[in-house]
A and B are shown apart, each in its own frame.
Chain A
Amino acid sequence: MADFVVYALIAGISIALVAGPLGCFVVWRRMSYFGDTLAHSSLLGVALAILLNTQLQIAIIGSCLSFAALLLLLERKQALATDTLLGIIAHSTLAFGILVLSVSDRVQVNLNAFLFGDLLTITLTDLIWIVSCCLGSGVVLIFFWKKFLAITVHRELAMIEGLAADRLYALLVFLIAILIAVAMKIVGVLLITSLLIIPAAAARRLSSTPEQMAIGAAVAGSLAVIGGLALSYVWDTPAGPSIVATAFVLFIVVYLKPEAGKR
């Protein structure tokens, strides 16, 4: 098998392994629109990075983290309803990103690669970035798992029991931001949230504890990556959409299965 397929597999599976558990929080906390907004705004970061000719990976992670911080701040201010706020930011940053990309004639930019991912052009440097970011977020996630769970179930109870809920929430958001930044190469800004949500939603049906759901989501995500890459390899379809389509099929299969032992 060619190098690029192996790279793509390793990168895709490392992301799926972290996106599964993180995606559970996105589902539980109803943050899917939040994730979308982060992804869309990261395109503006990409555009600026290209314009200023800086290192792309660092620029993407940097812009995702700063937009995450901005969103956290605005959310706390509660000037507007959260979904209105997210809608404004998501689409205006996407528009500005595309505008900036279109005026920068310095490099030939493949906009499609950013919107839908370009997993098969992955380099060894990209791979090292992705794997180390995933490893880092994975360790942090395991370490704080129980605390994240406690603030998700009931914020104030968790605070009374001694957890710094605001800081933990910020940490969770930053983890999601980092994942979105590195996953951009895989599925692109338009499809990233699906990698967080679909595997988690599929795993929900088969699990009775949060941990089961997290592990199930990681497995479902990895299966989607493997299936999507196979599809892409055999029929020469774009890798990102193939992965998302596979994840969706998995989700449908799980939901068609009759619910056992429930009302």
Chain B
Amino acid sequence: MTTDFLVQARGIGVRFEGRQILSHVDLDLLQGQLVTLIGPNGAGKTTLVRIVLGLLTPHEGHLHRAPDLRIGYMPQKLFVEPTMPLTVERFLQLPGPTDLKTESLLEEVKIGHLLKQQVSRLSGGEMQRVLLARALSRKPQLLVLDEPAQGVDVNGQVEFYELINTIRAEHNCGVLMVSHDLHLVMAGTDEVICLNQHICCHGKPEHVSTDPAYLALFGRREAETLAVYTHHHNHSHDMKGAIIGDSCCDLHADKGPHKHG
């Protein structure tokens, strides 16, 4: 084990009301490393994230966290009651430190002009940036992003991924990114983990830029920030997530629910 590990999980299992949500999940998050967690809806991604964040204690397995780990968490979405008058500036100051440089923080995520804006009036993309700024306000060693690209178009997604890359380089923080997109992940992802109640597979994504079909489809800019994770499973899942069949070397992965392009 190196000294720069942030979170190390071994054999994590979670049950809710008799239903197994996660089983035998191992996860390593290292400083400066970008890990993307993918999986279909109901795969237990959010549950695993809650465990990493310390909001949920797993029923099985162990979780080790680096001492005094500072986590910046960007939730999927945030709904602020319109009855609450709250400016972006005040929102960023909520966690505590009063000497917070809110302006430079917003500049970093390129929304300096929103400082005095009411939070309940932000657009989806603006809210995303504000949430990222809040996560960064704690100078995190680990940044956890829960489906940050949700509800944002491809252009917005690309810009956001560029921003994450810049931030990761500047802060040298680990990033755990959750995505429900099974095939498009951020370029520069060190490890993709495909989760469906257990870890189906994991590995490095291939760069899209090498794939001419993809280039033709999305153009160069997208290709530089997105990557395709090509994966073949040796098993399929039925609607309840149970594993169908048990052939450990099924070469016809395309028959399963995961289609690969």
Option from B73, B78, B91, B94 in Cβ contact (under 8 Å) with A160: B73
Option from A160, A204, A210, A213 in Cβ contact (under 8 Å) with B54: A160
**Given known contacts A149-B94, A153-B91, A153-B94, is B84 in contact with A160 (CB within 8 Å)?**
no
Expressed in whole angstroms, the minimum distance between the Cβ of A10 and any Cβ of chain B is 30
CB of B118 within 8 A of chain A?
yes
**A212–B95 contact, CB under 8 A?**
no
Q: Which residues of B line the A interface, CB within 8 A?
A: 53-55, 71, 73, 75, 78, 80-81, 83-87, 90-91, 94-96, 118, 134, 138
Which residues of A, 211-263, contact B by the 8 Å Cβ criterion? Answer: 212-213
**B90–A204 contact, CB under 8 A?**
no
Chain A's interface size range is 20 to 34
Closest 3 CB pairs of A and B: A161-B95, A150-B94, A28-B84
A12-B251 Cα distance, complex, nearest whole Å: 78
Which residues of A, 127-159, contact B by the 8 Å Cβ criterion? Answer: 146, 149-150, 152-154, 156-159
In the complex, the chain A residue whose C-beta lies closest to that of B53 is A160
**B73–A157 contact, CB under 8 A?**
yes
- Specify the main secondary structure of chain A where it touches its partner: helix
**A28–B55 contact, CB under 8 A?**
no
A167-B9 Cα distance, complex, nearest whole Å: 28
**B95–A159 contact, CB under 8 A?**
no
CB of A208 within 8 A of chain B?
yes
**B83–A160 contact, CB under 8 A?**
no
12 pairs, CB–CB < 8 Å, chain A vs chain B: A146-B96, A153-B78, A153-B86, A154-B75, A157-B78, A159-B55, A160-B53, A161-B95, A210-B85, A210-B86, A212-B85, A213-B84
Which residues of A, 77-106, contact B by the 8 Å Cβ criterion? Answer: none
Expressed in whole angstroms, the minimum distance between the Cβ of A21 and any Cβ of chain B is 13
**Given known contacts A160-B54, A161-B95, A161-B138, is B80 in contact with A153 (CB within 8 Å)?**
yes
**A204–B73 contact, CB under 8 A?**
no
**B90–A209 contact, CB under 8 A?**
yes
**Given known contacts A149-B94, A150-B95, A208-B118, is B134 in contact with A157 (CB within 8 Å)?**
yes
**A156–B85 contact, CB under 8 A?**
no
Option from A28, A154, A161, A210 in Cβ contact (under 8 Å) with B90: A210
